[in-house]
Structure 1
Amino acid sequence: LLIYSCILFFLFGYLFFCITSVVGPSSHIVVMVGEDVVLPCSLDPAVDAVPLIVEWGRLDLSPRFVHVWHEGQDLLTNQNPSYRGRTSLSTDRLKHGDASLSLSKVTLSDNGTYRCLFPKRKLVSTVQLVVGESGVSIEAGGSVVLECECSGWYPEPEVSWMDSEGHLVSAGPPETVRGPDDLYTVSSRVTVDKRHGSTVTCRVHQDRTNQTREAHIHISEVQVYVGKFKENTSL
């Protein structure tokens, strides 16, 4: 009898099952430094995974083990030290075939490809975790030109400028650089004067991840640098 692509055999009163696949995400998972994240991995069809062995790892690390579940309990003897105290699997979710890994306080070094492996059944899925720094910095270049730079974003964010009343300030096209880690650095410049009010805001937003960061600068505090001299200039 074929049900949901899983062949069921009844033999001497025992039920044997064949797990056909392990399901993971279809794309990148994006998280910012310091946040918590869950890396998806589940059996299809859903069966009790508590008595099974589940190995989460990264093949680029030594030791490669991020978290190991061994037949009903955590087995963290060979866990990579950088993940110590930051990983967990839920027993309640495992009962329903969900072996997703919870990872807390994400750091830049967590960026990479993770493997969810059921070794006895040779079932595997992978998930790529993209970790970004959501920093925004503003610099004053001259008396009226402001530059806003945001780094460590994925996917590419949008940068906009606003005056004190929340109205958009026209700026030139941003400069975008994509690094070898696939993270974006975007910089934008704008020229301001008194009509923009006392404060100008740089807003960085990414629709797909619903991430927004803002940085503010008070125009009266903009400083002009001429050679070795520095003087305060009120716009």
Structure 2
Amino acid sequence: MATLGQIIFTSMIILILVFASLIILILGLAFSGSSSEVMSRDLAPVANLGEDELLSCFLQTESGQSAIRQVSVTWTKADTQGVVYRYEDGAPDLVDQNSQFRGRTQLFPEDLATGNASLLIRSVRRNDEGEYTCRISSSAGQGRVQIHLRTAAFSFPTFTLSDCVLAAGARSWFPKPNVTWLDSDGEVLQGDTNFSEGSGGIYSVHSSLTPVNVSSSYIFRIENDLVASVSRATVTDSGVSVSSYFTPFSAASSLLLPSRLSFMSSFLVPLIFIFD
């Protein structure tokens, strides 16, 4: 016949085993739930006014997972009534779509099976700027990510060369930018710059540098708080050879980032021009 001490000891062992099983079950559920996550390639994109912008959002799942089913996607914007876009039961559901986005937004249904719920906004306007939330629910998991869209106007400059004067002009910038000329060693040069304000507060930039030398290179930088255009202009006997790229400031990661992370980065868009 078991003693009282043996009964207590056995009961404690049973309780410990029960609690251990519960902990293992809870951890298993937690890890299985974290096998998928809603992410974005850019948490703070800069959209060029008047152009289309793609807001990245997708469900990252374990490799080798089969096609995602029963996908529901909802895009909303802070301080905005209604939805930006909703997709449910295999079709768009735009009954309560905000009028600001009517006819200007779309998803790509053929990509939803792979978890891609990125939103295309056509002809970006200033009032499109703000905090967007992308929510995904599917057979493979669910979650959300927040994306802060910023708007600006920016354009590459064009160059002309005449009588040792190198002139640069860019047709649209907002907010109003600063302009800097540098030599190939990074020393600041004195240029002559003028701004013209057009409709909607969009600025055009006109700047010149003199004198310039054949076979020498000059850096022309236009920048505001959101984006910079950097051009390297090389003066030749036949004209000007130019390479240019844009650099958005404080853009969130160019890698695949979960919503809880944020990094500083930039992207480069190189272009090559030859001007006579």
Cα–Cα, structure 1 residues 91 and 147, in superposed 2: closer, same or farther, change >3 Å? closer
**TM-score (ref. length: structure 2):** 0.48
Alpha-carbon separation, structure 1, partners of 2:228 and 2:174: 6
The unaligned stretches of length 5 or more in structure 1 are 8-17, 138-143, 186-198, 217-235
- Identity rate of aligned residues, in percent? 20
Decide whether the 8 Å contact of 1:34 with 1:106 is kept in 2.
yes
The unaligned stretches of length 5 or more in structure 2 are 1-27, 158-164, 184-208, 230-238, 248-266
- How far did 1:35 drift? 2.0
**TM-score (ref. length: structure 1):** 0.55
One-letter amino acid of the structure 1 residue matched with residue 60 of structure 2: D
Q: Which has the larger radius of gyration?
A: 2
Q: Does 1:33 align with 2:53?
A: no
Cα–Cα, structure 1 residues 126 and 166, in superposed 2: closer, same or farther, change >3 Å? farther
User: 1:103 matched to which residue of 2?
Assistant: 121
Aligned length: 191
User: 1:112 matched to which residue of 2?
Assistant: 130
CA RMSD in angstroms, aligned pairs only: 5.0
Decide whether the 8 Å contact of 1:27 with 1:127 is kept in 2.
yes
Alpha-carbon separation, structure 2, partners of 1:53 and 1:209: 34
Q: Does 1:210 align with 2:269?
A: yes
Report which structure shows greater RCO (CA 8 Å, sep ≥6): 2
Decide whether the 8 Å contact of 1:40 with 1:101 is kept in 2.
yes
Decide whether the 8 Å contact of 2:179 with 2:221 is kept in 1.
no
Alpha-carbon separation, structure 2, partners of 1:170 and 1:89: 43
Deviations 1:40-75 (A, max 9, x none): 111121664552321111112x21411001121101
More strand by share: 1
User: 1:67 matched to which residue of 2?
Assistant: 85
Secondary structure of 1:98's partner?
coil
Which segments of structure 1 move beyond 6 Å, counting only runs of 4 or more?
Answer: 146-150, 155-158, 160-171, 173-176
Q: 1:55 aligns with which of 62, 71, 74?
A: 74
Alpha-carbon separation, structure 2, partners of 1:105 and 1:22: 26
- How far did 1:28 drift? 2.3
